[in-house]
Structure 1
Amino acid sequence: MLEELRITGLGVIDDATLPLDSGLTVITGETGAGKTMVVAGLGLLFGGRADAGRVRADVGRAVIEGRLRCSGRVAKAVAARVSEAGAEPDEDGSVLLARSVSAEGRSRAHVGGRSVPVGVLADIGARVLAVHGQSDQMRLLQPAEQLATLDRYAGADHEKLLAHYREVFAAWRRHDAELAERRANARERNQRADLLRLGLAEIGQVDPQPGEDVELRALAQRLEHTEGLRAAVAAAQQALAGDADDPTAGTDASALLGAARHELDAQAEVDEALGELSGRIEQAARLVSDVAGELASYTADLDADPARLAQVHERRAALRALTRKYAEDVDGVLAWADDAQRQLAELDSSDETLAALEAERDRLADEVAELAGRLAVSRREAAQRFGVAVSGELTGLAMPHAKVVAQVLARPPAAGTPTATVDGAPAGAGPDGADEVELQLIPHPGAPALPVQRGASGGELSRVMLAVEVVFAGAGGPPTLVFDEVDAGVGGEAAVEIGRRLALLARRHQVLVVTHLPQVAAFADRHLVVQKGSSGSVTTSGVRVVEDSERARELARMLAGLPNSDLGVAHAEELLAMARSGRGRRR
């Protein structure tokens, strides 16, 4: 949950801190006092689109900060995302989030004091927060959103089935597109394939080996400079080990080392350090002897061979012919050949390849149709449960005779897409199955079922929205829920029941509500009032937690605009008493 929210430089809010808590928190205040900016700040904090027009001109930058503390699976998911972004929670397990927006529209995000992409805040927000307002009601009217709503409600097994369906559908679409492309561009593909085959044949005829050009270059240099190499080796060998056939050739390194060792050994009894040095000279003598032996072997293997040199030059010319065409060196030529083989497989438009591709596409189409049918069955079962659950909530929201029906309809077949059979009738499969979902409202018995956008008034739509959210909350959902005036257009008994339902929702969630209704505010565990200062802006002093008599006066203001009226305060106290006694009771 969010423990604290600080907003600076956003709309009418200059610098204000909102102390938040678990349970139900309501935020009230005069129209234009800045309540909606609180919701806007939450949206920004959790990765929403930055609107530079809301940044206060006198400040030049809006900053929103919040401290987040989670538990259970949500805490593990958030901690993993925070760690992935290179940040760390504080020692107490909480995470400090921050978002800033400049007047020029530049945006920055921070998690745990570390700069991160804004998408990290959005990922965290998706796990911990759900914001509902008038715009969310409009989104609920869209068919795609209604389908997603039912899928979300259907449960984990349904979500796994849907994920599998999407994978198979994507594979079918790839195979279908590839088959169409191969058939449409067969001539160009064949021409390209012929060129690749010619190149591969030329490379195959030469049969270059990895690193062969480097090895041949070194061998050619040895063969071209045999005499010079032999003379250098002979001179070095004589300097190291002497010439057994010519005793007058001079003193060699081995003899000099032997003499040096003999002199030191003679005095080793006098000074042990000389004995140690003598040992090191012995090691040097062995090393000189080893090198002399290797030079002898080198000379034995060194042979001027004009025929071999000609072969090397011929082979290098063949390799250069390849490197002029395909790459800078032999390894690059071999890489080109590997890539050409891969391209040939992709370009293959033979009848056998097309037939195999078509068979796989048709197999995937059959699997798509089968999975779409299973999805339809799962959605119809979930729709039945969903309609009963939401209708039950509407009974307690002063709509006792209303029913919500999630109608699952078969999508009409479309050319070029797999056709599933749902209830014996053909249906066109799409990325999310072969179904369309429409939320319908039956306002009273005998009335026709109409889409919610046609059958519900603004107040009824707010209650349907709340009923849906309460049903979702029973199945889990994010720990923090925010409602921005979803009670618009509602009053009387319906407003009381909305407040009661929000209080029930707050038993398992942190619920933040921006409201104008005193009937809703009466059910709050914490009541915040936002007020503008004399300068026309909101500061920390303008955000107050109201309790006891002060809370009653705020409710009286909301009831009749008379915070100091004894009658208004008495009415407000009666409303508070009713909320306290009815918080746990469901109708």
Structure 2
Amino acid sequence: MIEEISIENLGVIASARLELGAGFTVITGETGAGKTMVLTGLDLLLGGRGDPAVVRSGTDRAVVEGTFVVSDDVARRVEDAGGSLDDDALLLARSLPAKGRSRSFAGGRSVPQAFLSDLAADLVTVHGQSDQLRLRSPARQRALLDAFAGAVPVLAEYRDTWQRLTEARARLEEWQARSDERLGEAARLRAGLELLEALDPQPGEDDALRTEAERLGNVEELRQAAGRAYAALAGTGDGAELDASVLVDVARRALEVSDPELAALSGRLAEVSYLLADIGTDVAAFLTSLEADPDRLQTAHERRAALRDAALRLGVEHPDALAEWSSAAAARLAEIDGPNDGGAALREELAELTAALGARAEQLTAARTEAAARLSEAVDAELAGLAMAGAHLAVGLDPLPEPGPWGAETVSLLLQPRPDSPPRPLGDGASGGELSRVMLALEVAVASPEASTVRPTFVFDEVDAGVGGRAAIEVGRRLAGLARVAQVVVVTHLPQVAAFADTHLLVSKSIGATTITDVRAISGTEREQELARMLSGQEDSDVARRHAAELLDRAVVAR
């Protein structure tokens, strides 16, 4: 909802401040007074294209600011863009220089012009000859019918099911596309498992074989080294009087004196003596175990070669990892060949989701079909009262070859201006005034009396074009009815429409050295005077004033 709009240096408007009411607001004034500039300013705030030619002559820039009450969703989008609300109100601004590029602001933060355009759909709906129809797009038409049918929750369930079905189809297609790849993988896994089953590798086997092969390949060298060590330890070789055991024992006995420190060292030498004896025993055992075995050496080399060849063929970094590969390969092969393979599960899921989508599509189609008849009837009734008797709104539901993301049919709104003319898409073959009245009829037909924290805003321009008399009164009555659930702003030249307004804004100009336009709210006598001017062009005419007063009285009663 728009609370206020401020305009500076835009066309003939030097400075103006418009406070818009929550209900029905009309903007009136003589031709050329600047009513169009009010809508131009609003268009700039909503991200419209800025034309430097509208900047007031003699000034360097035009500035338009607006205060809006917005939904939580819009507030979040502004906050995501870096802006913030001021006392729960959103401030938008647009600066249009006479030369150069315009600047846009939302919530105190500079934003791209496109950001204002994106917000516009959630802030204000403008109906006029020069504006893009809100309901021209099939998506908007479908959304309107679904809202009228109360089918939004059903559509949400349908959309969720359709999304899950789409994802399941993609997964199954991917699974099927990889079928040959999986068959090849299974064949490779089986071959590898057969190889390892015959080879039967053991954890740590390669390291053990390497150690054994090195020992068998160096038997003589090891025997000589161990023999020399044993002789030195046990004193069995040449120079036995110098063997390690004897020398350590001599040193130990030499330290067996009364000095405590030397006695402690003697004890430690005793430990060394015992350790040397153990080492000597182990060296003797090693010497005994050494035995040349060329056959065993050949076997160890062949076994290591087989393990390394298997690791290379299977892409394993080290032979010791073959056992781990075997375990993982067996699990993967079971996954590929198992009775409940991924393909079967995906096909089952796809069948279930397809059935669920069909059921929800039937619900959605039934709701739309029922609502289409009601909407057509309601809009036709409104059009009859808006000087478009014989006009008919047809709601087309065309089945799709298969359910799509928004249902099993497309939705289209078609206008038949006269009984003898064919239905045509909205916007084709109708005047701007007729289109505005069709939009008004639609908005009135779908208007919901449910309470809302944020009232939607509708701006109508030329809604009264080509009508007068009783039809004009009906236009005003319907605008007032719509204003019970929405904020309605209308630029009009018909007093019958203006009489129904809750807030009446008068655009007037004074001509001196420069033309200055003023916008102000009027009521009471001033309002009667303006309605009289609109009726007869003579605001001081007593007859016109009485007629204006009568219009106001009847408009109040009509509500």
Q: TM-score, normalised by structure 2?
A: 0.61
Q: For 2:103, which of 95, 107, 110 is the aligned residue?
A: 107
1:581 aligns with 2:557: no
Structure-1 residue corresponding to 2:379: 390
Q: 2:515 & 2:338 partners in 1: Cα distance? A: 73
Asked whether the 8 Å contact 1:28–1:35 carries over to 2, the reply is yes
- Note the 1:514-553 alignment, pairs <5 A: 514-531=491-508, 534=511, 541-548=517-524, 550-553=526-529
Q: Which residue of 2 aligns with 1:170?
A: 163
Q: What's the Cα RMSD here? A: 5.2
Tell whether the 8 Å contact from 2:449 to 2:485 is kept in structure 1 after alignment: no
Match of 1:159 in 2: 152
* Greater shift in the superposed pair: 145-154 or 120-129: 120-129
- Label 1:141 to 1:106 Cα distance change in 2 as closer, same or farther (>3 A): closer
Counterparts in 2 of 1:67 and 1:245: CA distance versus 1, 3 Å: farther
Q: Structure 1's 374 and 22: CA in aligned 2 closer, same or farther, altered over 3 A?
A: closer
Post-superposition CA distance 1:103-130 (Å, at most 9, x none): 533533231x455676775676555533
- The answer to whether the 8 Å contact 2:399/2:409 transfers is yes
Query: Partner of 2:467: helix, strand, or coil?
Result: coil
Paired residues of 1:531 and 1:543 also in contact (CA < 8 A) = yes
**Contact map agreement 1:402 1:441 (CA 8 A) in 2:** no
Please say if 1:486 is aligned against 2:486.
Answer: no
Structure 1 or 2, whichever has the larger Rg, is: 2
Q: Which amino acid aligns with 2:142?
A: L
Q: Which residue of 1 aligns with 2:219?
A: none
CA pair 573-384 structure 1, distance change in 2 beyond 3 A: same
2:407 matched to 1:407?
Answer: no
Change (3 A) 1:89 1:466: same
Sort the Cα spacing of 1:194 and 1:571 in 2 relative to 1 into closer, same or farther, 3 A: farther
Mapping 1:359-398, distance limit 5 Å:
359-398=348-387
One-letter amino acid of the counterpart of residue 403, structure 2? A
How far residue 159 of structure 1 moved from its aligned partner, in angstroms, is 0.8
Question: Equivalent of 2:145, from 144, 150, 156?
Answer: 150
Does residue 509 (structure 1) correspond to residue 482 (structure 2)? The answer is no
2:491 and 2:127 map into 1 onto residues whose CA distance is 10
Aligned counterpart for 1:131 among listed residues 109, 122, 126: 126
Q: Counterparts of 2:387 and 2:101 in 1: how far apart (Å)?
A: 45
Instruction: State the Cα distance separating 1:96 from its structure 2 match.
Output: 3.4
Please give the secondary structure, in 2, of the residue aligned with 1:134. Answer: coil
For residue 19 of structure 1, report the CA deviation from its aligned partner: 2.8
Contact 2:33 2:509 in 1 (8 A): yes
Q: How many correspondences in the alignment?
A: 431
SS of 2:505 mapped into structure 1: strand
Partner of 1:200: none
Letter in 1 for 2:481: L
Instruction: Deviation per CA, 1:357-415: give whole Å up to 9, x if none.
Output: 4544444333322221111011122223323433343354345x6575553524241xx
CA distance in structure 2 between the partners assigned to 1:56 and 1:517 by the alignment: 29
Query: In the alignment, what sits opposite 2:448?
Result: 474
Per the TM alignment, residue 513 of structure 1 is displaced from its structure 2 partner at its CA by 0.8
In the alignment, what sits opposite 1:419?
none
The Cα of 1:183 is off from its aligned counterpart by: 5.4
Q: Is the 8 A contact 2:55 2:96 kept in 1?
A: no
From the superposition, tell whether residues 50 and 362 of structure 1 become closer, same or farther in structure 2 (CA, over 3 Å).
farther
Q: Which amino acid aligns with 1:56?
A: V
The separation in 2 between residues aligned to 1:108 and 1:245, in whole angstroms, is: 94
Instruction: Using structure 1 for the length normalisation, give the TM-score.
Output: 0.58
Paired residues for 1:559-578 under 5 Å: 559=535, 562-563=537-538, 570-571=543-544, 573-578=546-551
Distance verdict in 2 for CA 1:350–1:410, change over 3 Å = farther
Letter in 2 for 1:108: S
Q: Superposed, which structure 2 residues align to 1:275-294 within 5 Å?
A: none
AA aligned opposite 1:439:
L
Task: Return the match for 1:432 from 399, 402, 406.
Answer: 406
Indicate the residue corresponding to 1:51 in structure 2: 50
